[in-house]
């Protein structure tokens, strides 16, 4: 039983680290958007904020319906696709 608890605790620590990285990427997206005046930074920001919401909902077992979480994840995927497309098309 102790092994299962330790394994779950390790997963929570890993997910928390992942959420902090997502926050850092979201902040970088804001900096790109406002300081570099690149619109794709806004899409990066949106993507990683939505990833954070999704991960926090799972980590904290928030009462957000699964359908809403799936929609948020889909929006995040579309957002990062737009950001990457804009990067590809950039001069």
Write the burial class of residue 70 (CB in 10 Å: 0-12 exposed, 13-18 middle, 19+ buried): exposed
**10-36: pLDDT as tens digits:** 678 899 999 999 999 999 999 999 999
In the predicted model, residues of the chain with pLDDT beneath 50 are none
What is the reported pTM?
A: 0.85
Q: How do the domains of the chain map onto residue ranges?
A: 2-89
**Measured between alpha carbons, how far is 9 from 16 in angstroms, rounded to an integer?**
11
Measure CA 85 to chain center: 18
């Amino acid at each position: 039983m102790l092994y299962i608890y330790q394994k779950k605790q390790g997963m929570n620590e890993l997910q928390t680290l992942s959420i902090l990285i997502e926050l850092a990427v979201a902040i970088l997206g804001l900096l790109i958007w406002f300081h570099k005046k690149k619109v794709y930074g806004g899409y990066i920001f949106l993507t990683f904020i939505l990833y954070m919401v999704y991960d926090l909902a799972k980590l904290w077992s928030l009462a957000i319906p699964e359908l809403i979480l799936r929609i948020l994840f889909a929006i995040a995927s579309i957002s990062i696709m737009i950001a990457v497309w804009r990067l590809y098309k950039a001069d």
